[in-house]
Every structure is written in structure tokens, then in C-alpha cells.
């Protein structure tokens, strides 16, 4: 898989074919693998798993999981059993063996059990009914996959209580786990409290491996890492240490072709609702990127907030989106861009080295996780392997 796409910083002439003009998402599998290895080095001697739920955070389960398995990743986490079944097929087709954990545990009924058995999926058991179902199944069936047990140490979402330890021991889990609630804020006292609760719970399972840390948790130090770490966001280039330089490599880049240009005079408005008014004569570029593509509707500057709005890189110039983003289109202020760049089909970079995942998220009051998992299905996708 190689890419031949024009880059936003290439000279004019490197253009999209306008008949098929659409946004292009470039996903760097080499960077995802490098991020996974980097986290593995940091977490050592703990093993680094990979969380690939929600279609590998929107980047594509097949290419992402294949690249990670090829690089040696031996443990994957997904949310749903159906995601696990799809992942198992991908791994088998690629000749890879790996453990697959299903974070949501269920559906734990006869049909669910068949799915777990057929695809060798390990449930993450997170309630007393799930534990008793699995204990019964272990009695009745040979060769069931092993399981994990998930204790709630503060989230109050899924998970067993400290009083459920005996029931959990009855299923002889291979893994005991919990999940941080504030790991991206290193000095939040919840972190230390959760680490202490988990360390004590984990002692009741001397034969199981232990796992607590998500991406940010890995950066909380050795006490957070135990035997297995579960990064998702950081694999995909998200910053696990908000407020500090991002230790991860960027993995996604989004380029959109400029379709048309238009000069407006001072006083004219842009977009639905007339929410942005030009204060001076402006040159605008229209791009095929809208909220149906996961680009937030509040991605453009408005009159009551003229310094808000996402940035795009056109040539070397940072430019601002203006006006309400519509379903399929949005508008960029290219007034400062040299004329030579303003030809239909020239790409504007919306996400990449200059505008990071976290920049894009902040500009629209979202988090990088949301930006990734809502990346549109209409983009041309190009996977880079090196
Ligand atoms: C999603 C998830 C992860 C991964 O979290 P990131 O913050 O993306 O690294 C780890 N563990 C559990 C239980 C999760 O649900």
C-alpha cells in the first residue's frame, strides 16, 4: 500500500482530480506501530496490548489490527463480541494468533457463548450475573476460552465490587482489570486512590495477570502499569499527556480539495444563519467537508466568536474556517494565501502536522477521541505502511 497523494505543501499542480474531488484521509500504519512500540518500551516489563474498539477508533480495524499483529501485538481489546468475531477473522486470515478480550462481556447467553467459543474470544466479566453464567458454562463445556474480571474502582460504570472477589475467583480468570477515571490529570487524587484499591484487589488473584492503565495511565508511572497496559488513543497519535508536548507520532492526516473561490465584500455574510460577517473584503474557498463527515458544525468562526474556528493549512498559510459548517461543505478564509495556490483541486490540510488531532478537538469543544471516532465514511482512505 503506497500513497501518491498530493500534499498540502506540494507546489500547485499537485491536485485532486476534480471530477472525484473529495477529502482524503491518510492513515500512517507505520506511525501507529511505532507508537505501540514506544508505549511498550515505556511500560516494560508490562506487555502492551492494543485497544481497537470502534473500528480501531475510526481508523479501520482490518489495516490497523493487521499491522499491529504483524509487529507482534499479542493482546487486543474490543468493546463488542461482534467486533471480536470480525477481529478474529482478520487475525486468522493474516496467520496471526492473539488474545482478544471483549470489554463489554455480554451478551452472555447461549448464543453469545457460541460466539465466544467459535471465535476464541475472552469475555471481560463485569457483574455477578455474568460471573455466575460463566462459572456455569465452565462446568458444562470443555475448552471454553479463559476470561478477565473487571473491578470498578471509581468509575461506577461497568465492573464488580470489592465484595465480589470470591465469586470472581470461581471463574479462574486469566486477567484482573480496572479502568482509570482521571488518568489524563496526573496529580488528581483519584489516580492514587484507584491504584491503591486495584493493588489490593489484584492480590486476591495471584495466578492472573493484572491490567489497569489506558493510554494516559501508562504515564502515571510503574504503579499504574502492572502486567498489561491497554492503550487506545495514544496508539492513534492522541496526546496522553494533555498540556505537555505530545510524546506520540501523528497518525492521521486529512486533506480537502478546494472546489471554488469567491470574493466577498465587507458586510456580506457566509453560510446558514448568516452567522459570520466579512469585516473587510475577503477571498473564500469552498471545500467538500461537512458535519456528515464528522467535521463539527461549530468548526467555523462566527460573529460572536471571530477567533474561534478550526484552522487549515493552504500552502504555508494557516487559514480559518468561517461560518456555520453545513452537511457537506464548509468555507475557509484564504484571503492571505498567495494567488498561485488558489486553483480548484489544490488541497487544504485540515488535520496533520500543522493542525493536530487535539487542536482540531479543542477548536470545536470536543476531545480527540471524538474527532477520531467520527471521521467520515466518505473520505478517500489511503493507508501508508512505512
Ligand atoms: C477504551 C478503553 C481503553 C483505552 O483507553 P484510551 O484512553 O483510549 O487509551 C482501555 N480500557 C478500557 C476498559 C477501555 O474502555
* Residue 215 Cβ contacting ligand 1 at under 6 Å: yes
Whether residue 293 has pLDDT greater than 60: yes
- Report residue 209 as a C-alpha cell: 495477570
Ligand 1: centre distance to CA 76 (Å) = 11
* Residue 56 Cβ contacting ligand 1 at under 6 Å: no
Q: d(Cα 229, Cα 220) in Å, to the nearest integer?
A: 12
Half-sphere exposure at residue 104, Cβ-oriented, CA atoms within 13 angstroms: 13
Q: Do 74 and 214 sit in the same domain of this protein?
A: yes
pLDDT band per the 50, 70, 90 thresholds, residue 295 = very high
- CATH number, domain of 345, equals 2.40.37.10
Q: Do 43 and 148 sit in the same domain of this protein?
A: yes
Lowest average pLDDT, out of 15-19, 30-34, 258-262, goes to 15-19
Q: What is the share, in percent, of the chain residues with pLDDT greater than 90?
A: 89
pTM, full prediction: 0.94
Ligand 1: centre distance to CA 204 (Å) = 24
* Residue 368 Cβ contacting ligand 1 at under 6 Å: no
Ligand 1 atom, smallest distance to 184 CA: 7
pLDDT digits (tens, 9 = 90+) for 205-255: 999 999 999 999 999 999 999 999 999 999 999 999 999 999 999 999 999
Structural domains in the chain (count): 2
Q: Do 45 and 186 sit in the same domain of this protein?
A: yes
Structural domain boundaries enclosing 105: 29-236
Q: d(Cα 256, Cα 62) in Å, to the nearest integer?
A: 24
Ligand 1 atom 13: the closest Cα is on which residue? 179
Q: What is the DSSP letter of 11?
A: P
Question: What are the angstrom distances between the C-alpha of 144 and each of 33, 81, 351?
Answer: 31, 15, 44
What pLDDT score does 307 carry?
Answer: 85
Is 241 part of any domain?
no
Q: Do 45 and 92 sit in the same domain of this protein?
A: yes
Whether residue 9 has pLDDT greater than 50: no
What pLDDT score does 306 carry?
Answer: 84
CA pseudo-torsion sign 306, 310, 314, 317: positive
- CATH number, domain of 193, equals 3.20.20.10
Q: d(Cα 45, Cα 375) in Å, to the nearest integer?
A: 34
Is 380 part of any domain?
yes
> For 345-372, what is the mean pLDDT?
94
Ligand 1: centre distance to CA 83 (Å) = 15
What pLDDT score does 111 carry?
Answer: 87
* Residue 225 Cβ contacting ligand 1 at under 6 Å: no
Q: Do 159 and 256 sit in the same domain of this protein?
A: no
Q: Do 219 and 331 sit in the same domain of this protein?
A: no
What pLDDT score does 16 carry?
Answer: 52
Active-site residue list: 53, 272
Whether residue 140 has pLDDT greater than 80: yes
> For 4-30, what is the mean pLDDT?
66
> For 275-299, what is the mean pLDDT?
97
Q: Do 171 and 69 sit in the same domain of this protein?
A: yes
Q: Do 50 and 166 sit in the same domain of this protein?
A: yes
pLDDT band per the 50, 70, 90 thresholds, residue 15 = low
Question: Which is it for strands 330-333 and 317-322: parallel, antiparallel or unpaired?
Answer: antiparallel
What pLDDT score does 18 carry?
Answer: 58
Q: Do 217 and 114 sit in the same domain of this protein?
A: yes
Q: d(Cα 184, Cα 243) in Å, to the nearest integer?
A: 10
Residue with cell 490540510: 349
Transcribe 100-152 into DSSP letters: EEETT----SHHHHHHHHHTT-EEEE-SHHHHHHHHHHHHH-SS----EEEB-
Mutation pick for ligand 1 pocket among 214, 228, 361 (CB with most ligand atoms within 8 Å): 214
Whether residue 105 has pLDDT greater than 90: no
What pLDDT score does 106 carry?
Answer: 66
Q: Do 71 and 161 sit in the same domain of this protein?
A: yes
pLDDT digits (tens, 9 = 90+) for 318-336: 999 999 999 999 999 999 9
> For 145-158, what is the mean pLDDT?
96
Q: Do 101 and 116 sit in the same domain of this protein?
A: yes
Is 246 part of any domain?
no
Q: Which residue, of 207, 236, 265, is where some domain finishes?
A: 236
Output the average pLDDT for the chain. Answer: 93
Q: d(Cα 232, Cα 225) in Å, to the nearest integer?
A: 15
Whether residue 50 has pLDDT greater than 80: yes
Amino acid at each position: 500500500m503506497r500513497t501518491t497523494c498530493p500534499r498540502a505543501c506540494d507546489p500547485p499542480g499537485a491536485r485532486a482530480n476534480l471530477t472525484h474531488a473529495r477529502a482524503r484521509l491518510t492513515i500512517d500504519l507505520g506511525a501507529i506501530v511505532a507508537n505501540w512500540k514506544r508505549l511498550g518500551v515505556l511500560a516494560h516489563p508490562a506487555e502492551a496490548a492494543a485497544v481497537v474498539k470502534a473500528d480501531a477508533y475510526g481508523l479501520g480495524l482490518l489495516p490497523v489490527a493487521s499491522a499491529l499483529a504483524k509487529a507482534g501485538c499479542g493482546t487486543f481489546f474490543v468493546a463488542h463480541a461482534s467486533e471480536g468475531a470480525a477481529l478474529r477473522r482478520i487475525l486468522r486470515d493474516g496467520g496471526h494468533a492473539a488474545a482478544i478480550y471483549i470489554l463489554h462481556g455480554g451478551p452472555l447467553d447461549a448464543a453469545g457463548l457460541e460466539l465466544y467459543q467459535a471465535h476464541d474470544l475472552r469475555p471481560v466479566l463485569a457483574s455477578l450475573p455474568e460471573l455466575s453464567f460463566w462459572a456455569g458454562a465452565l462446568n458444562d463445556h470443555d475448552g471454553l476460552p479463559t476470561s478477565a474480571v473487571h473491578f470498578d474502582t471509581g468509575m461506577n460504570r461497568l465492573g464488580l465490587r470489592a465484595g465480589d472477589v470470591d465469586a470472581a475467583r470461581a471463574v479462574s480468570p486469566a486477567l484482573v482489570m480496572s479502568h482509570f477515571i482521571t488518568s489524563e490529570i496526573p496529580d488528581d487524587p483519584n489516580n492514587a486512590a484507584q491504584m491503591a484499591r486495584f493493588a489490593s484487589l489484584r492480590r486476591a488473584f495471584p495466578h492472573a495477570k493484572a491490567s489497569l492503565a489506558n493510554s494516559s495511565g501508562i504515564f502515571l508511572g510503574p504503579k499504574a502499569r502492572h502486567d498489561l497496559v491497554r492503550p487506545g488513543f495514544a496508539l492513534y497519535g492522541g496526546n496522553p499527556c494533555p498540556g505537555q508536548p505530545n510524546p506520540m507520532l501523528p497518525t492521521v492526516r486529512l486533506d480537502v480539495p478546494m472546489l471554488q473561490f469567491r470574493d466577498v465584500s465587507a458586510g456580506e455574510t457566509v453560510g446558514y444563519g448568516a452567522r459570520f460577517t466579512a469585516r473587510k473584503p475577503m477571498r473564500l474557498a469552498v471545500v467538500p467537508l461537512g458535519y456528515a463527515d464528522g467535521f463539527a458544525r461549530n468548526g467555523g468562526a462566527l460573529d460572536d466568536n471571530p477567533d474561534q474556528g478550526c484552522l487549515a493549512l493552504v500552502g504555508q498559510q494557516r487559514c480559518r474556517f468561517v461560518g456555520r459548517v453545513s452537511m457537506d461543505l464548509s468555507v475557509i478564509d484564504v484571503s492571505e494565501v498567495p494567488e498561485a495556490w488558489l486553483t480548484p483541486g489544490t488541497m487544504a490540510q485540515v488535520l496533520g502536522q500543522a493542525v493536530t488531532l487535539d487542536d482540531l478537538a479543542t477548536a470545536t469543544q470536543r476531545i480527540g477521541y471524538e474527532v477520531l471516532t467520527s471521521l467520515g465514511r466518505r473520505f478517500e482512505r489511503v493507508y501508508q505502511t512505512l
